[in-house]
A and B are shown apart, each in its own frame.
Chain A
Amino acid sequence: MRPELKEYPLDQLFARTFQLARKAGRATPKEQALLLKSVPYVSGLLEPMLALGAPAITFLGMLADYYTDLIHAKEQGKKVVMTTFCFDPTIFYAFDNLVPVTLEVGTVITSILWKRGAYDFMDFCTEVGFSETGCSSQRGTMGAYLAGAGVNIDMVAVNMGGICDTNSNAYSFAAQYLGKPFYGLDYPAELTPDAVRDYHHQDYRALIRFLETHGGGRFDIDRLRSLLEEKQIQDELTNEIEELQRLVPNPVPGIYHLLMYAGRYTCSGSPTFTRMLREMLEVVRVNALSGAAGLGRPEKCRAFLFYIDNFSFNVGMFDWLARNQVSHMGSMLSRFFPDNAPYRREVPGTCYTIDTRGLDSMIDTLADINARMPMTRTVRGPYDAPNMWLEDSLSLAKIFNAECCIYNGTPGCRNTWSNVKLIMRDLEKHGYPTHLVYADAFDGRVESWETTAMRLDEFFKIRGLL
């Protein structure tokens, strides 16, 4: 890594950028232009974000708070927990002294906002011994924390084995490299048997003991209850948005998926996240009433992304879909399986219920939620087993009336690349034209966006979708 990069703390840059962006959202156009000038690192992508209006501005503010809390954690006597996107952070907020930092979210932000993408941090991981073929979604910011160009973390707690080796491996490497305690929740290959449920619940309790031991803080039951109650509201709002997404045309703007899951990965249970969802629902309702598509143009096709939907460098994938009048019907990252989701009928008996009656029921709830996080639920077992990748993809594609499926991921993902050819064959058999993107969603050096876009053009045209 270039020596000068180690001099700028990454999370401080995030905090400053988002603080300014929040201000810019409230400013007049003239003030806005002036403010944007003072964030030289961003590659001009804040502008289109601001153009999205209220929900995006709330989102930027939410991230400003998230990173501000992070950089002030130490002076407030708090401990920083490094975690992964597929881990619900509610439990950290239920402690009085824990602040989470989610690597993947940082990677996406870095690659979207920074001119040089997250390459320097990725390469730094390799320089200190981490495998270069490991998942780029962690490497993108892990390098900053390993290099000391980020806040000092105190411990690592993640969803691990059974879901994604390369992800677990990155966190286990980071913990070891930095000499910090590590706890990984483990997941058997099945989801629904009682024994598995029991496993989740017991393992989760051991996690809480770990957080108590190494954080030294207090776990507050009232705080947990109010967080879960807020989560309940958030789930209901999300469900309403998703219910409306079934309409033709789909009134939900595609980029909302990114804001919704990024919010959930970082700020689950926070009132700001609730506000963002309300603002989104308002926009979606207006669209639905007027029969307008969330695309901002007439809808010509509906695509389901059966893995990841973001694309490095820019929001290329969302952008491409919108420009070509293709509605984004969600990805694996944007499904959480609460028991009132519109797709619950398609996946009976596999969703979670929020139960705030007592401490035990709340902990069980958290464990159940965590066991259904993106990837944790879907790719833990054989892809063709009940409730796994194929069934989930088919049910979601069906309920949202998708007309085609797209795989977009990262070469670091051994788990999906080991069976993506098989699931593609099955999706095709079920009548879904299916496209395989060979790019890296976080590292533009693997395949250029132009090539990816050219292949998308070709796919939609040749398969008669556009």
Chain B
Amino acid sequence: MSIVAGCDVGSLATKAVVMERRRVLAAVVVRSGPKPGASARDALDQALAQCGRSAGDVSYCVGTGYGREKIAFVNETLSEISCHAKGARFLVPSARSVIDIGGQDCKVIKLDANGGLVKFVTNDKCASGTGRFLEVMAKVMHLPVDRLGELSLQARDPVTLASMCTVWAQADIIKHINARRPAEEICAGINTAMANRVAMLANALRLENDICMTGGVAKNKGVVHALARILGQRIKEVKTLDPQLVGALGAALLAAEQAGKVNRKELPP
């Protein structure tokens, strides 16, 4: 039985999704190594092993992400924007807007009723609306980054970060640490600062409901809640799949579409 695959080589993590008839067979996240081609190979091999298939079974593969040009085995490459839009619509069919926050990029995508790409914006100005911002802040807090979200939900009086700049905000955090503010309040301040920045991008597009959030940062409940509050709109969470995998999922879905076209062409009339 032929299967399709999507592979998303990001700056920090490489993701692979293997699908069969619009059903996810396997999904894998590995840390991006120094060679994006090798990371992609590794991710896909692991995913194939997970579902007991071999590379020969893959009829079509789409690559995306920063390192997409270096993936040797893909049939086609597409931008992260298209892949995230596709993946998000699959998981949340009512989605008209996608906010994807990856390691070094923040993308806000607007879709039409059929899921067609209408417009998108990305962070050109400032890196503070990206996953890296959270990572750097978590490091200053001596916390693993995935703790920022849950901790911040317990905050009563979040701190305000004076600076938006990823680097200068660290000095702010240290100031709050020195002032002995509880960790959860600082975490909440970090998440709110991040959400404010993302909201500015999102508002520029005048987002329509439903909003779906993807990318690693979508796992941070603190950011998601803050963002919903600032936007005054509900954010639909991706529940059935790790939100980090949405780009790879979209790539696999686009691969399936392409495979379908190719197959139809090959069939005799």
Contact = CB atoms under 8 A, between A and B. Distances in A.
Contacts of A123: 196, 199-200, 203
B49 interface: no
Contact of B232 (A2, A119, A449): A2
A132 B163 contact: no
Contacts of A128: 204
B232 A4 contact: yes
Interface residues of B, number: 16
B140 interface: no
A1 B125 CA distance: 18
Contacts of B196: 119, 123
Contacts of B168: 447
Contact of B175 (A3, A124, A448): A448
Contacts of A184: none
Nearest to A312: B162
A450 B162 CA distance: 10
B163 A447 contact: yes
A449 B200 contact: no
Contact of A1 (B161, B171, B175, B203): B203
B163 A127 contact: no
Given A2-B230, A2-B232, A123-B196, A445 B163 contact: yes
Contacts of A451: 162, 171
A449 B162 contact: yes
Given A2-B230, A447-B163, A127 B200 contact: yes
A129 interface: yes
Nearest to B205: A127
Interface in A1-31: 1-4
Contacts of B164: 445
A444 interface: yes
A126 B162 contact: no
A127 B199 CA distance: 9
Residue of A3, A119, A127, A132 contacting most chain B CB atoms (<10 Å) = A127
Nearest to A313: B162
A320 B75 CA distance: 64
Interface in B204-258: 204, 230, 232
B172 interface: yes
Contact of A126 (B172, B175, B204, B230): B204
A2 B175 CA distance: 28
A14 to B, nearest CB: 23
Interface in B185-200: 196, 199-200
A93 to B, nearest CB: 37
Contacts of B125: 132-133
A446 interface: yes
A450 B171 CA distance: 11
A13 B155 CA distance: 30
A444 to B, nearest CB: 5
Interface string B162-182: 111000100110010000000
Residue of A4, A123, A128 contacting most chain B CB atoms (<10 Å) = A123
A447 B175 CA distance: 13
Residue of A445, A446, A449 contacting most chain B CB atoms (<10 Å) = A445
B119 to A, nearest CB: 13
Contacts of A133: 125
A448 B163 contact: yes
B230 A446 contact: no
Contacts of A127: 200, 203-204
Nearest to B199: A123
B162 A448 contact: yes
Interface string A118-147: 010001101111001100000000000000
A246 B181 CA distance: 46
A2 B229 CA distance: 8
B232 A3 contact: yes
Q: Top 7 closest A-B pairs, CB basis?
A: A448-B162, A3-B232, A127-B203, A127-B204, A123-B200, A445-B164, A444-B162
Interface of B: 125, 161-164, 168, 171-172, 175, 196, 199-200, 203-204, 230, 232
27 contacts: A1-B203, A2-B232, A4-B232, A123-B196, A123-B199, A123-B203, A124-B203, A126-B204, A127-B200, A127-B204, A128-B204, A129-B204, A132-B125, A133-B125, A444-B162, A445-B161, A445-B162, A446-B163, A447-B162, A447-B163, A447-B168, A448-B162, A448-B171, A448-B172, A450-B175, A451-B162, A451-B171
